[in-house]
Chain A
Amino acid sequence: MSEQQLFKVTIDNITIEVPAGTTILNAARKIGGDVAPPAMCYYSKLEGSGGKCRTCLVEVSKGSEKDPRPMPKLVASCRTTVMDGMEVKNITSEKVIDARAGVVEFLLLNHPLDCPICDQAGECHLQDLSYEHGKEGTRYEFQRRTFKKHDLGPYIQLHMTRCILCYRCVFTADQLTKKREHGVLDRGDHAEIATFIEKSLDNDFIGNVIDVCPVGALTDKTFRFKNRVWFLKPVDAHRDCPTCSGKVTLWNRGDEVFRVTARKDEWGEVENTEDGKPGWICNTCRFEKKKTSDWVIEGPRMINRHSVISQGHYAGKIGMHKPTETFEAVNDGRKPQLLMDIHSVSEVNKPEVQLSLIDGPAHSQVFNQNKD
């Protein structure tokens, strides 16, 4: 690899040298920031992904040093490799911005926009994409495509209506597990992700399809409707897991572990562990270890400041440990005479209702049985 040729490529007037064979998208990600085109289907850890969603379209204004003609159409940057002296326009090109707005409109054609219900809201790539690149309205006048809710095994909920057919989950199942049991059935408007004859997916790593899903089509059933991501506190933790790396992000509320996910980098992809392999996590870690005592807490997870998830959270160690009670210290050792126990007043967050420990979403019985 040492004699590998370095190509000079200019993206949005920023020049960078990358090895030959790098895609424009990855070169732009090396620069980082706004220069990197958004990607809904491309996932660097999955072989063969990309080229489907067309959100990463860029304009190539100069093909290469030897052939300086511009490319006739916008190209998908996740599938186009760089050439020496290539000049690419991403956010500096009117054409790209316009095309991207069109792509977003297409992606949202059949999307139900049920973000208030969807568990992915707040960390949804389609939500971010439409806020950043989309237009306000749609010109679609027909009934949206609908599907029934679907269970993929005991832990994964599939909402086909929200799916944008990025194929990431299919690649994940194909590449992480020995036997793939789900795929895309039918064609065109009817295409849907499904298991073959309702076969449940029971593989140790199948839970990773939840992490790779850019929208809320595949969601964690053990977390379903329990809380919103922006009320949870992401914490890095690890455990000694025989099947996977055991390095995860816990999504806590107080001491309750509501959700376990893999650690994600700034592109929303699974982070590499120290040995350079993607840090996929196994189903046991993801779905069954919902107690703080199962984990060794490392520290708070850094979340982009502009994300809704970091709303009301503080950087650093604040919020990691309970503040010390100062009342007695300042009051000559006397205890407060009147203290209101919030549980005597509030119905929310009752200590006897442990939402994080029940298997699926809460139903009315969960709340009603504790009423009497």
Chain B
Amino acid sequence: MQALTNRSQGVSRKPMSFMERLYIPAILKGMAITFSHIFKKKPTIRYPEQKRPFSPVFRGLHVLNRDEEGRERCTACGLCAVACPAEAITMEAAERLPNEEHLYREEKYAAKYEINMLRCIFCGLCEEACPKDAIYLSETFAPANYTRKGFVYGKEELLIPDPKTNPEGYAAAKGSK
């Protein structure tokens, strides 16, 4: 068969020389390589305690954003759901009542908002489609879970903490974006 590259080498069937038959030098050579690695810089980190910074374009778990006054930005326009290639997003809209103006930014809001994280492919198209800056992908992973139920995220899981009552939580969830 014709070789595809010229890098392959045939197996050498020559009898071993005296030095090779001793084995000790080869063992020492291997040990030297092993020991030298002790003094090299470690490429790994101790993960749960130490974390690497995320790339600025990292797309992680979704966050439903609030404005500066802590009102929900989402108006349930459905553009994220129609943009979603995995059909992971569903929602139900409701009209804001006169006494709910401190809760919702616009006249209409998402009473229910769900993302099925088993379906989501973290492509970020929902973030791109959103006309209200209401949804974006944060710098966290979707945590593991034992049941499928735990992967359907509702508004309780997705909403960012209120910047007025919980500014630290808000800043942490918002990340560097």
Contacts and interface: CB of A to CB of B under 8 A. Distances in A.
Contacts of B114: 346-348
A121 B92 contact: no
6 contacts: A114-B106, A117-B108, A225-B108, A226-B93, A363-B94, A367-B94
B111 A231 contact: no
A225 B112 CA distance: 13
A9 B165 CA distance: 69
A362 B93 contact: yes
Given A117-B77, A117-B107, A348 B91 contact: yes
Contacts of B132: 116
B131 interface: yes
B135 interface: no
Contact of A363 (B90, B95, B112, B152): B95
Contacts of B128: none
Interface residues of A, number: 31
Interface string A115-157: 1110001000000000000000000000000000000000000
A346 B117 CA distance: 12
Most buried by B among A225, A353, A361: A225
A353 B94 CA distance: 13
Contacts, number: 80
A372 to B, nearest CB: 16
Interface stretch (B9-17, B22-30, B60-68, B78-86): B78-86
Contact of A367 (B92, B106, B131): B92
A340 to B, nearest CB: 6
B148 interface: yes
B97 A364 contact: yes
A114 B79 CA distance: 13
B112 A348 contact: yes
Given A117-B106, A117-B107, A225 B82 contact: no
Interface string A329-372: 00000000000100011111100010100001111101100000
Interface of B: 75-79, 81-82, 87, 90-95, 97, 100, 106-108, 111-114, 131-132, 148-149, 152, 154
Given A115-B131, A312-B87, 4 more contacts: A116-B75, A117-B106, A344-B149, A364-B111
Contacts of B90: 346, 348-349
Nearest to B87: A312
A348 B91 CA distance: 6
B52 to A, nearest CB: 33
Which 4 pairs between the two chains have the least Cβ-Cβ distance?
Answer: A116-B77, A228-B78, A361-B95, A362-B94
B159 to A, nearest CB: 14
B100 A364 contact: yes
A54 interface: no
Most buried by A among B78, B90, B97: B78
DSSP class of A's interface residues: helix, strand, loop or mixed?
Answer: loop
A308 interface: yes
Contacts of B94: 225, 361-364, 366-367
Given A116-B132, A346-B114, A348-B112, A225 B93 contact: yes
A345 B149 CA distance: 6
Given A115-B77, A340-B148, A364-B97, A355 B92 contact: yes
A100 interface: no
A353 B93 CA distance: 13
A121 B77 contact: yes
B152 A345 contact: yes
Contacts of A340: 148
Nearest to B113: A348
A226 to B, nearest CB: 7
Contacts of A348: 90-92, 112-114
Contacts of A355: 92
Nearest to A229: B78
Contacts of A106: none
Most buried by A among B76, B91, B94, B149: B94
A347 B114 CA distance: 8
B152 A116 contact: no
Contacts of B79: 116
A332 to B, nearest CB: 26
A144 to B, nearest CB: 16
Contacts of A224: 95
A256 B90 CA distance: 16
Nearest to B114: A348
A230 interface: yes
A312 B83 CA distance: 10
Contacts of B87: 312
B95 A230 contact: no
Given A347-B112, A364-B100, A231 B106 contact: no
A311 interface: yes
Contacts of B75: 116-117
